Structure 1
């Protein structure tokens, strides 16, 4: 059986999304920079929001990426332990929704 992309719950291994059963739309990309922040995109309300994040530039050892939260109105990010800027890692985020 041919299978496209599958995204699984890391705790249970259950399949959450498959591209053969859901349609996706990528809405954009952005970099978090090194400070807490958010973007607003009302198009996320058209389905279930998703995002994928990867290091922006050097992902040096000991650096801490932000916690990212997606809702139907936007995406926010923060560093929960509030580390000094020198220990924060900026990430590039691609986001959209699936139906």
Structure 2
């Protein structure tokens, strides 16, 4: 009985930690991949329009990366909820079968 309890507890904690680890990895990758203007880019600018154009390009790139981040984070959340709901369903069916 004690081993079942500890095994269930360990399994549950792994399922709770996995989405958090995935989110932390996604956060780190997203922050590392954000675009920004480098000093070399600023040295090449001759007109104010060029600065505005470069800033808009960076803004659009980062906007796409933010959308990708949201899509991936919702997928992680969805997978987490699906696995939890599956386990609750299986556990409740097993409990009903024992009665």
Give TM-score scaled by structure 2 length: 0.22
Structure with greater proportional strand content: 1
Give the greater-gyration-radius structure (CA): 2
Structure with greater proportional helix content: 2
Give TM-score scaled by structure 1 length: 0.22
